[in-house]
Amino acid sequence: MVKLPENVLAHGRTRNIMRETFEYGNKRKAQVGSDKVYDYSLGNPSVAPPRSVNDTVRDILSGELSDSIHAYTSAQGAYDNRKRLADSLQRRFGGNVSPDDLYFTVGAAAALTITFKALTVPDDEFILLAPFFSEYEVFLQNAGAKAVICQPDYKDFMPDFEAIEKAININTKGIVINSPNNPSGVVYDGAVIARLSELLRKKSEEIGHPIFLINDEPYREIVFDGKRAPWVPDFYDNTIVCYSYSKSLSIPGERIGYIYVPERVCGHDDVYAAVCGAGRMLGFVNAPSLFQKVVSICDGQTADMSVYERNRDLLYNSLVEMGFDCIRPGGTFYLLMKSPIENATEFCLSARKYDLLIVPTDSFRCPGYVRIAFCVETKTIENSLPLFAKLAADYNLG
Amino acid sequence: MVKLPENVLAHGRTRNIMRETFEYGNKRKAQVGSDKVYDYSLGNPSVAPPRSVNDTVRDILSGELSDSIHAYTSAQGAYDNRKRLADSLQRRFGGNVSPDDLYFTVGAAAALTITFKALTVPDDEFILLAPFFSEYEVFLQNAGAKAVICQPDYKDFMPDFEAIEKAININTKGIVINSPNNPSGVVYDGAVIARLSELLRKKSEEIGHPIFLINDEPYREIVFDGKRAPWVPDFYDNTIVCYSYSKSLSIPGERIGYIYVPERVCGHDDVYAAVCGAGRMLGFVNAPSLFQKVVSICDGQTADMSVYERNRDLLYNSLVEMGFDCIRPGGTFYLLMKSPIENATEFCLSARKYDLLIVPTDSFRCPGYVRIAFCVETKTIENSLPLFAKLAADYNLG
């Protein structure tokens, strides 16, 4: 018989709970009608891409590049695309961004698998701050690195600095942050990033080598209340930015993003070369050429984000009024709600009787909570509120 | 200081000889004019994509899917795209192809890294038939598998079956073929595939587990003299097809291809699940959504391949007449030529004095030969022939 790698097979056989709930929802919609099912399971942007995305595609295809746009680019991305992106980032965030600091990737997932593989030597550890996107652990496993999990301060879901300090040891290679955060919706402000940076500098000195701060920030532009997410490289030299256009431009299917290795990163040229080597080993020849160009032109633009803020207000205020215990999202399109019973999976299953599809965050290493992905039409939220009220009543809330 | 993984760093620092020669060519073109440099270094298709590629993009963007085309698809590819591709393959090659046998990938490189990772358990070995694309060894290293290299029959660059038989042992998990072949241009005919299949069946029985035949076939449609490449799954049950549209549709930058796990593969459902798991671990969330749809519609079409056949005839006939020892390409856009001196690198450097840019195939594990990538304009070949004649004279050929 065929012997296959058990861990790889397991990752292929299991569907994450979000996908599973989504598939359930599709079946249910076929039974009762799609307007009767309130699917809050997936982080699939509901807002259309800005018109400029498809316009830019059309422009390129009707111009001189119509054929050559589909040719190979350099592994790190075509120089002119990296130059345009570097200029855009510099304009938006300041500092000194060079094309040779940028490496286009097939989305943020690829940015992370490449970064982890580029940095990891045997015994290396990366600190993950719960709650976090469950695939981080899968990606670290692929790189042969150990995941060390720190729980948050459950009061406000901000980092527990004491826990992080305790978790750091001689094998710590990096720490991954994801702010704005999936699934909690919290956004670290400048004070939090500054305090984390201070701690990392102190501990890097203690252990005798730098700790990389990997910022997975596909939600960077989805921040509410007129605020904006701090630009992490301003706070900490050894930051590596992993970005995706999936959420900001609503093009998750196109798989396009980048790794930014700022010039001040310790051993910059080696780290960048290792990124190139890791990309090559994993089979990423170059990021898709047409969309490399499209996003380098559209960088900084966004889909209509006001929908998400309106949804946040409506959903958060309503749920709190019903008596649910919720974290107020400062960004993203996720709302984290405490399960009224210890077993969040059981709670989510009980919500299905009202066709409310929400998911437990156990796989985000945050048991006892559920995630509500409000990247849906506002009408869906409005129609679902009476059902959430019934659910609250079932648990004697309010 | 930062400790980085040495092998990853090495793969990032070194450029392969094709890329290096190409970069040299670009500098040289800036000095002497691009019409004076004859760049045969890279396998970048010179023929424009068929009009249908950009037309299909435009159709999709002006239709109902204009926004939703950019959304996430299932990890293995959107069902309707897989269905359309399955139908196309079945129409073209017969058999029974199901959407659940197909997994869209970010090009052939990704198809290979995913397949190797899906199959490899500790101590596994894969047989590679020289000459082969140098990245195979990099991809096997990533999967933790051992590469076992078999030299060809140098008479015609067909497989040396005795060498393959000797190389197979209890740890042999698979064998990789690449027909039509880069860099030799040879195409295995039905008799060769049948003999290889017979051998693999016999040895699979002997060692007590199946040996997978991985066919990397991006050049499947580039076959000359009115022939076509055999459809390998017809010959051997445990075939896994790794395909890319880079060459057939001239869209290498878009990174789109697929893995086909035929239903008769031993442990089909597990192998397919392992493919899904490996794709997930390596960070391929889904293959780019727009081009998934485009290639599923354009499958079976090709760019204008007649140019390559014309180039083959002109180049092969001329070089042979000059006294060079060449393998006649049955397909692809590569011609393999014996170096008149033992050191092929030295020979290639000496060709540079005529601005003829050709590359040694040492990294293809085929020392003493050079590759001439004739995916160039026919005029380039015509203009370069007098210089090849001078080169021949330098080595007293003819």
pLDDT digits (tens, 9 = 90+) for B305-361: 999 999 999 999 999 999 999 999 999 999 999 999 999 999 999 999 999 999 999
Q: Name the band, by pLDDT with cuts 50, 70 and 90, for residue B17.
A: confident
- Is residue B161 packed enough to be buried (19+ CB in 10 Å), middle (13-18) or exposed (0-12)? middle
Q: Is A291 on the interface with B (CB under 8 A)?
A: yes
Q: Tell me the C-alpha to C-alpha distance, in Å, between residue B343 and each of B40, B133, B328, B339, B379.
A: 19, 20, 22, 7, 30
Give the pLDDT of residue B14.
Answer: 85
Give the pLDDT of residue B18.
Answer: 85
Give the pLDDT of residue A394.
Answer: 97
Q: Is A110 on the interface with B (CB under 8 A)?
A: yes
Q: Name the band, by pLDDT with cuts 50, 70 and 90, for residue B110.
A: very high
Copy the structure tokens of residue A227.
Answer: 């605020």
Q: What gap in Å lies between CA B254 and CA B380, rounded to an integer?
A: 26
Q: Name the band, by pLDDT with cuts 50, 70 and 90, for residue A120.
A: very high
Closest partner residue to A283 (CB to CB) among B113, B274, B289 is B113
Q: pLDDT tens, A294-344?
A: 999 999 999 999 999 999 999 999 999 999 999 999 999 999 999 999 999
Q: Which of B8, B81, B298 is the mutation pick for testing A, counting most A CBs within 10 A?
A: B8
Alpha helix positions (H), chain A: 6-13, 17-32, 51-62, 79-93, 107-119, 135-143, 161-167, 190-207, 268-282, 289-298, 306-322, 344-351, 378-394
* Cβ atoms of residues B212 and B172 within 8 Å: no
Give the pLDDT of residue B350.
Answer: 97
Q: Tell me the C-alpha to C-alpha distance, in Å, between residue A36 and each of A26, A332, A333, A387.
A: 11, 25, 21, 11
Contacts of A10 in chain B (CB under 8 A): 277
% of chain B residues with pLDDT over 70: 100
Three-state SS sequence of chain B: CCCCCHHHHHHHHCCCHHHHHHHHHHHHHHHHCHHHCEECCCCCCCCCCCHHHHHHHHHHHHCCCCCHHHCCCCCCCCHHHHHHHHHHHHHHHCCCCCHHHEEEECHHHHHHHHHHHHHCCCCCEEEEECCCCCHHHHHHHHHCCEEEEECCECCCCECCHHHHHHHCCCCEEEEEECCCCCCCCCCCCHHHHHHHHHHHHHHHHHHCCCCEEEEECCCCCCECCCCCCCCHHHCCCCEEEEEECCCCCCCHHHCCEEEECCCCCCCHHHHHHHHHHHHHHHCCCCCCHHHHHHHHHHCCCCCCCHHHHHHHHHHHHHHHHHCCCEECCCECCEEEEECCCCCHHHHHHHHHHHCEECEECHHHCCCCEEEEECCCCHHHHHHHHHHHHHHHHHCCCC
Give the pLDDT of residue B102.
Answer: 98
Copy the structure tokens of residue A229.
Answer: 């997410």
Question: Would the CB atoms of B66 and A54 count as touching at under 8 Å?
Answer: yes
Contacts of A54 in chain B (CB under 8 A): 61, 66-67
Neighbouring C-alpha atoms within 13 Å toward the C-beta of B158: 14
In DSSP terms, A240 is beta-bridged to A214
Give the pLDDT of residue A4.
Answer: 96
Q: Is B284 on the interface with A (CB under 8 A)?
A: yes
Question: Would the CB atoms of B48 and A61 count as touching at under 8 Å?
Answer: no
Q: Is A290 on the interface with B (CB under 8 A)?
A: yes
Q: Which chain B residue is nearest to residue A53, measuring alpha carbons?
A: B67
Task: Find all residues with CB under 8 Å of A224, minimum gap 6, and list them.
Answer: A308, A309, A312, A329, A330, A331
Q: Name the band, by pLDDT with cuts 50, 70 and 90, for residue B66.
A: confident
What is the rounded average pLDDT of the residues B101-124?
A: 98
Sheet-wide strand order for A369-373: A326-327, A334-338, A369-373, A359-360
Contacts of A44 in chain B (CB under 8 A): 71-72
Range of lowest pLDDT (A63-67, B81-85, B295-299): A63-67
Nearest to A147 by CA among A126, A121, A169: A126
What is the rounded average pLDDT of the residues B289-307?
A: 96
Strands A212-216 and A239-244: parallel
Q: Name the band, by pLDDT with cuts 50, 70 and 90, for residue A14.
A: confident
Q: Name the band, by pLDDT with cuts 50, 70 and 90, for residue B5.
A: very high
Give the pLDDT of residue A1.
Answer: 79
Contacts of B273 in chain A (CB under 8 A): 9, 12-13
Strands B359-360 and B369-373: antiparallel
% of chain B residues with pLDDT over 90: 93
The pTM (predicted TM-score) of the whole model is 0.96
In the stretch 27-56 of chain A, residues with CB closer than 8 A to chain B read 42, 44-45, 48-49, 53-54
What is the rounded average pLDDT of the residues A347-367?
A: 96
Q: Is the pLDDT of residue A291 over 90?
A: yes
In the stretch 146-175 of chain A, residues with CB closer than 8 A to chain B read none
Q: Is the pLDDT of residue A15 over 80?
A: no
Contacts of B69 in chain A (CB under 8 A): 253
B115-142 burial: b if 16+ Cβ within 10 Å, else e: bbbbbbbeebbbbbbbbbbbbbbbbbbb
Q: Name the band, by pLDDT with cuts 50, 70 and 90, for residue A393.
A: very high
Question: Would the CB atoms of B72 and A44 count as touching at under 8 Å?
Answer: yes
Amino acid letter for position B125: E
The H or E element spanning position A64 is: none
What separation, in Å, do the N-terminal and C-terminal C-alpha atoms of chain A show? 58
Backbone angles phi, psi at A336, to 5 degrees: -100, 130
Give the pLDDT of residue B336.
Answer: 97
Give the pLDDT of residue A38.
Answer: 96
Length of chain B: 398
Give the pLDDT of residue A317.
Answer: 98
Greatest pairwise CA separation for chain B in angstroms: 65
CA B148-B153-B156 angle, 5° bins = 135
Cis bond upstream, residue B49 (ω within 30)? no
Q: What gap in Å lies between CA B242 and CA B250, rounded to an integer?
A: 17
Give the pLDDT of residue B217.
Answer: 96
- CB count, 10 Å around CB of A368? 16
Nearest to B232 by CA among B215, B212, B247: B215
Question: Would the CB atoms of B11 and A61 count as touching at under 8 Å?
Answer: no
